[in-house]
Amino acid sequence: MSAMRFLLDENVDVLYHTQLLEREPTIVAWMVGTPGAPSKGTLDPTILVWCERNSFILVTNNRHSMPAHLQDHLAQGQHIPGIFILNAKMSVGETIEELLLIWGASHEQEYRDNIWFLPVSS
């Protein structure tokens, strides 16, 4: 069992969350807007701070502004467990398989301070 935890941002379809938990009930995967997670409408820089404080890797489809947000975050001397950006060419099933592979085969600091575009296994 991995210590890696995922936070899916509010623009990621809830189906990804549902499928992750169905396939691996022990995985810690939260969504923005659920109890304990940042609320919907939280700005990306604040979500990065939350992920850092709570040791969650962010899963997002925000490939446009997230690189700049991460750069600003790191420039302030902060860190983040990592960011995975979804690939629109991958099916939900392929994405779930990829996230589960990452979760099962990686250590929690492996993706620190970086953005990874899925799939990382290719």
What is the tens place of the pLDDT at every residue in 49-106? 999 999 999 999 999 999 999 999 999 999 999 999 999 999 999 999 999 999 999 9
Going along the chain from its start, the domains and CATH numbers come out as 5-117 (3.40.50)
Q: What is the pTM of this model?
A: 0.95
Cβ–Cβ < 8 Å for 81, 52: yes
Where residue 110 falls (left for φ over 0; alpha for ψ -120 to 50; beta otherwise) is alpha
